[in-house]
Chain A
C-alpha cells in the first residue's frame, strides 16, 4: 500500500517518458496520476489505527542483509499526515502550472512526479539508508525545477539551494553510517532502542542537525530559501514551502528525539535560541522586503521557528501544535505562493511597489488573498491559530521566557503581512498594468478552494487532525524522556 502510494507517481513519470508525446496529454496524465495517488493515500486513513503509536502498513524487503539495510516502509501518526499533505498538494501544484509552464512541459511534469515519489518515500522510510537515498534523490528534481523552470537568476539560486542542502547531507551521512555501524542495523525502529552513550549521541545529533537545520531552515542557514523561492516557478515554491521545509522538522521528530533523547534534551537551549532569533529576526527582515516572494519566504522562516520551538518544548501541546502548524504552514504558505503566482502570471513582476489597488479589478482574488493573509497572521477561526496557540502554550509550559519572545512574532507577523497586503491589494489602482488584470479564472479558483476548506476546517474543528497525532506524540514523548546513556558508542567518540 505504502509502496503503491510512493511509487505510483514515479510510474506516472515513466509513462510520460515512454508513451506520451504531446504536452496536453502529459498534463492530463500527470494530474490524473497525482489525483489517483491522493485518493489511494486517503485509503491509508481508512485503515489507519489512531489508537496506537505503532508503525502501520509495514513493508520489509531484504536489500543488503549483511549491513542491516533493508527496504523498510511504515507510517505512524507523525509521518502519515505529511504523506497526505504531499499527495494533496501535488495535484494543486500541477494544476497551478497548467498555463504558466510552457517550455519542456513533459520534463517538468516528470520532475514533479518524481519529486512526489521521493518525498512520500522520505516520510515512509523506516530504514536510515533508504531514507537517506530518497532524501538526496529528492534534491535532484527540486534542483531541476528551480534551475530549469525558474526565474532569471535561477542557476545561482538552484546551486545555492543544492550546495547548502548537500553540505548538510554530507554530515548527516556520516552520522547515519556511524549510527548504523554501531547498531549493526539501519532499521529506524531498532535504532530507537539502542542504548547510545551520551557523547556519541551528541555527535550524532550535530551531524543530523546540520542537515535538518538547513532544511527547516533555521537561522543562520536560511539564506538559501529566499533566493530559491524567488527564482522557483510558482508550483516549485508551493512544494518547497509546503513540503520540503517540513522534512527538517520531521527529521527531528522521527530520528533526533527518539534515537538521541539525551542529546536532544541537551541541545534544547541551542534550538530555542536559534528559533527565537529566526522568529524575530526574519520577521523584521520580512517587513522590509520589496519582493512579494521574498517576503513570504522570510515569513516561512519565521513560522518554522515556531515549529522548532514547539517540538523542543517536549510536551504534548507543543508537539501536536508543531505537527499541526507544519500542515497549516503547508496549506497557508502554499496558498500565499499561489496567490503571488496569480498576479505574477498577469504582470510578470513580484515587486510590491508595482501593485496597488488590486482589489478594484480582482475582488474575488482580494477576498481569497485576504483569507490566507489572515490565516498566516494566525487569526482565530483559521488553522494557524490552533497551531500557534498550542505551540505557544507548550512553549510557555516549558519555558516562559521563550514563549514570551516567540509571542512577539504575533505582532511582527501581523505587521509585515498587513502592510504587504495593503500595498498590493488596497489603495487606488496603481497603474494601467494593474487596471488590465483579470480576476481569477475557474481553474485558479479551483486551486484555492480545497486550501480554503482546510483553513476553516482545521480552524474550527481540528479534532480529526489532532486525533491522528495523539497516540504517536504520546509515545514520542516517552521516548524523548528516556535517559538511555548506555554503552553503545564508536571508538573516537
Chain B
C-alpha cells in the first residue's frame, strides 16, 4: 500500500476502531489514543509529502486506487492526486485536525462519549482528505458530501439539545441546496467533456475542445464554461457559507468548540475556495463567473463583518468572522489571484483555529458561559489564553508581520491591482470590512478579557473560579499561536508567480496578483490604516467609554436589531421556504391524496369495499391456505380449460 494512500486511510482506520470498538471494548482513553496516533501518523506522512512536493521539487503524484463507477462511457475512479495545491491542504487538514484531536482530550473531559466524538472527528478528516486528494469531480463530490455528513454529526453531537439537532439539520439541508447546484455542474461537465477527470477536462477546456454554448432550462443558451462554473460555485457557496447560503454557519456553533475550530473555521468551510482554485482552468475561461465569484465574495466579506459587530456570543462573533474571511478568499479567486486565496486559506487555518480554540478555553474557564456580556477582566485569570487570543486577533486583523498582514493584504492589493470595476468594488468593500474586522475582533478581546469583571451572581461565580486550561488544550494553542506568528512570513513565497506550477492556471492578462507586488505604497499600507481605525473605535467604545455601545444600540435601535438578527435572513427563509414547504406538504397529502385521489378515484371502489369486507371477514377464521392455493390452481385451470 502506498504511503500516500495511508495519509487518507489512517484517519478512517482510527475512526472505525474508535467507532466500532470504542464504547464497548476500548474505553475513552484508548479510543482517544488510537485516533490521535492515527492522526499523528497521517500528519507525519503529509508533512513528508509537503516537503517533497512543495518545498522540494518532486513531480505531481497521480495514483489510481481502484475503479469506482463504470457505466458505458462513464468511468470514475478513486485516485490520489498530489500537487502543490493538494499538499498545502493535506498539511492544513491533518495539522489542524491532529491539534484539535489533542485539544479535545481536555475540552471534552467531562463528556462521557469520547469514542463517538473522536470517531466523528477522524471520519471528518478522512472525508476532507478524500475531497482534497481526488483527481476527478466525483471524488471531490464524495468528500464534499462526506464532510457535510461529519459536520451534521458533530454539530448535533449533543443530540439531547433541541437547538443542536436543528442546527445540524439546517447545516445539512442548506449544504444540500448548494450540492444541488454542484451536482448539476458535474453533470454538465460530463455532458460537455465526456469525462470527470480533472486532467482531461482541463486539457480539453484549455484547448477549446468543447461546445461553446449549452441550452439550459430557465436560462436559454448559456456559454458552457460560465454555466459549469456558476453551478459549481453554488456548491461552493453552500459549503463555504457565502451570502445567501451562509445561514447554517452561525447555527453550527451549537457543536462542541473543537469542532467549530476544525470544521467550521480551518478546513471544511474552505473546501469551496479549494474547489474554485482547483477548477481555475475552468473559471479562468469565464469572466462572468469570475465576476460573480468576486461580487459574492466581497459582499459576504462585508455583510458578515457587519453582523459580527453586534453579536454577543463569543463563538458567533468568530463564526461571522470566518464567513467574512471566506468572502475575502473568494474575491481573491474572483480577480484571478488564486494563490492569494490559498495563502489566506493557509494562514486563516492557523489563526482562526487558534481563535476558536482560545474561545473554547475561555468557555471552559467560564463553565460553559458563551455570552461575552457575562465576561470581562479575564486576562488576570487566564493570561496564557489571553496572550494566544491576542496573537490570533492581531494575526487576523493584519498587524504588521503577522499572518494576516501578508495574506489579507495580498488579497486587497490584488483586488486593487486588478483594475477592473468589480475588482475595485471588491477592494473598497474589503477595506471597509477590514475596519469592521479589527473592530469586532478587538471588541471580542476587550469585552472578554478587559474591563471590569462581571457583576451578576452567576457570572461572578464563574469568573472567580476561572482557571487556565489543562496542558492538552494549552499545547495546541501554543502551536497555533506560533504558527500564527510565523506562517505569514514562511508562506509568502506561495503568492510568487508560478509557485503552484500547473495546479493553478491563470489566464494571460489576468495579472492582478503579478501587479499586486508593485502597487503604490499607500495601497500597501492602507490596510494597516484600516486596522488602526478599527482598533481606535473598539478602544473608544469598549475601553474608554464602555457605556457608549448600549446608548448607541438604543439610539439606532432598528439598525442594531437588523444587524443582531443577521439581516433577518433566517426569518425570511422561514417565511418563504420552510413554512410553505410544510403547508404544501400538508395540503398535497390531505387534499391531493386523501380528498381527491382517494375520495374521487377510490371512493366508488371503497363503497364496494365496505360490502365486500363483510363477506371477506371469513378470511380470518377460515383456513388461509385453502384460499391461497384454491385461487392459484383455479386460475391455472381456468386458463388451461378456457384456452
Contacts and interface: CB of A to CB of B under 8 A. Distances in A.
A144 interface: yes
A418 interface: yes
Interface residues of A, number: 81
B160 A466 contact: no
Interface in B585-643: 585-586, 588-589, 592-593, 597-598, 601-602, 605-606, 609, 612-613, 616-617, 619-620, 623-625, 627-629, 631-632, 635-636, 639-640, 643
Interface string A107-129: 10011001000000000000001
A426 B613 contact: no
A316 B70 CA distance: 10
A418 B170 CA distance: 10
Given A223-B597, A414-B172, A141 B589 contact: no
Nearest to A408: B180
Contacts of B617: 155
B173 A415 contact: yes
Contact of A148 (B146, B191, B619, B631): B619
A152 interface: no
A110 B625 contact: yes
A67 B146 CA distance: 57
A363 B169 contact: no
Interface in B335-389: none
A452 to B, nearest CB: 12
Interface stretch (A82-90, A193-201, A396-404, A485-493): A396-404
A374 B631 CA distance: 42
Main secondary structure of the interface of B (DSSP, over half): helix
Quick one: which of B66, B156, B584, B632 has the most chain A CB within 10 A?
B632
Contacts of A316: 71-74
Interface in A447-482: 460-463, 466, 470, 474
Nearest to B144: A380
Nearest to A108: B624
Contacts of B643: 64, 67, 69
A164 B602 CA distance: 9
Contacts of A397: 187, 190-191
A426 B160 contact: yes
Interface in B73-105: 73-74
B177 interface: yes
Contacts of B179: 410
A470 to B, nearest CB: 8
B321 to A, nearest CB: 28
A374 B172 CA distance: 11
Interface string A142-177: 001001100000011001100110000000000000
Contact of A140 (B152, B187, B601, B628): B628
A285 B589 contact: yes
Nearest to B620: A148
Given A380-B142, A427-B165, A144 B627 contact: yes
B145 A404 contact: no
Contact of B156 (A17, A144, A374, A426): A426
A141 B619 CA distance: 12
B22 to A, nearest CB: 11
B149 interface: yes
Contact of B602 (A17, A144, A223): A223
A285 B585 contact: yes
Contacts of A443: none
A288 B635 contact: no
B489 to A, nearest CB: 39
A114 B628 contact: yes
Contact of A156 (B187, B584, B613): B613
Contact of B628 (A67, A129, A144, A404): A144
A288 B160 contact: no
B628 A428 contact: no
A433 interface: no
B72 A315 contact: yes
A463 B72 contact: no
Contacts of A460: 68
A284 B156 CA distance: 24
A470 B183 CA distance: 24
A216 interface: no
Given A287-B581, A410-B180, A390 B69 contact: yes
Contacts of B166: 422
Given A129-B639, A320-B71, A419 B593 contact: no
Contacts of B508: none
A140 B617 CA distance: 16
B111 interface: no
B619 A392 contact: no
B268 interface: no
Contacts of B585: 284-288
Contacts of B623: 107
Given A220-B601, A321-B71, A400 B215 contact: yes
A116 to B, nearest CB: 13
B627 A381 contact: no
A202 interface: no
B632 A137 contact: yes
Interface in A399-449: 400-401, 403-404, 407-408, 410-412, 414-415, 418-419, 422, 425-428
A349 to B, nearest CB: 20
Contacts of B635: 133, 136-137
B593 A141 contact: no
Contact of A320 (B72, B176, B215, B624): B72
Contacts of A287: 581-582, 585
Contacts of B190: 393, 397
B184 A407 contact: yes
B217 interface: yes
A390 B138 CA distance: 11
B115 to A, nearest CB: 11
Contacts of A110: 625, 628
A289 B586 CA distance: 8
Nearest to A402: B217
A407 B598 CA distance: 28
Given A141-B628, A414-B172, A462-B69, A422 B217 contact: no
A98 interface: no
B9 to A, nearest CB: 13
Nearest to B175: A414
A63 B617 CA distance: 37
B631 A392 contact: no
B184 A159 contact: no
A21 interface: no
A411 B602 contact: no
A159 B625 contact: no
A379 B123 CA distance: 14
Contacts of A414: 172-173, 176
Contacts of A315: 72
A359 interface: yes
B567 interface: no
B41 to A, nearest CB: 22
A400 B629 CA distance: 49
Interface in A55-101: 63-64, 67, 69
Interface in A310-361: 315-317, 320-321, 357, 359-360
Contacts of B581: 284, 287, 412, 415
Contacts of A223: 593, 597-598, 601-602
A386 interface: yes
Given A111-B624, A284-B584, A133 B636 contact: yes
Given A381-B142, A410-B179, A426-B156, 15 more contacts: A67-B643, A104-B624, A141-B628, A160-B606, A163-B605, A288-B585, A317-B74, A389-B69, A392-B183, A396-B188, A411-B176, A415-B169, A418-B169, A426-B165, A427-B159
Top 4 nearest A-B pairs (CB, nearest first) are A316-B72, A284-B585, A401-B217, A396-B187
15 contacts: A64-B640, A104-B624, A107-B623, A111-B625, A133-B636, A141-B628, A144-B628, A148-B620, A156-B609, A286-B585, A288-B582, A403-B184, A414-B172, A427-B162, A463-B67
